[in-house]
Amino acid sequence: GAVVSQHPSRVICKSGTSVKIECRSLDFQATTMFWYRQFPKQSLMLMATSNEGSKATYEQGVEKDKFLINHASLTLSTLTVTSAHPEDSSFYICSARGGGQAETEAFFGQGTRLTVV
């Protein structure tokens, strides 16, 4: 199957700083990328959907000014957590859909564990 890579896999940052997480589709063009948040022992909560070249669509309750999403190319989307606070500590997962085999199947990254201290 297609490969989606997230970087970094783990990050620790100080409260008040910003953190950027990258999501790349390695062998297909991802027309749509999704960002999820997963709390311990809970399901994936969809945060936003981004289409290449356009603004992301955020789910209700997700602060767009806090979680900045950029999908500038067909292989890269970034999630920036701005002015991070301890309550932003979580596991963030991206997934991507594109043409061909990935047209309906969403492929997932390995996730990024963010810890804000």
Partner 1 sequence: AQRVTQPEKLLSVFKGAPVELKCNYSYSGSPELFWYVQYSRQRLQLLLRHISRESIKGFTADLNKGETSFHLKKPFAQEEDSAMYYCALSGQGAQKLVFGQGTRLTINP
Residue 98 found at the interface with partner 1 (CB under 8 A): no
108 CB contacts (<8 Å, ≥6 apart)?
A: 4, 93, 94, 95
* 43 part of the interface to partner 1, by CB under 8 A: yes
Q: How far apart are the first and last CA of the chain?
A: 37
Q: Running DSSP on this structure, what letter comes out for residue 98?
A: E
Binding residue for partner 1, selected from 8, 15, 55, 105, defined by CB under 8 A: 105
Please list, residue by residue across 80-106, b when 16 or more beta carbons sit within 10 angstroms of its beta carbon and e when fewer do: ebeebeeebbbbbbbbbbbeeebeeeb
The minimum distance between CB 13 and partner 1, in angstroms, equals: 23
Binding range to partner 1, per CB under 8 A, among 15-23, 65-73, 75-83, 99-107: 99-107
Question: Contact with partner 1 (CB under 8 A): which of 29, 106, 113, 115?
Answer: 106
Instruction: Choose between 6 and 116: whose C-beta lies nearer to partner 1.
Output: 6
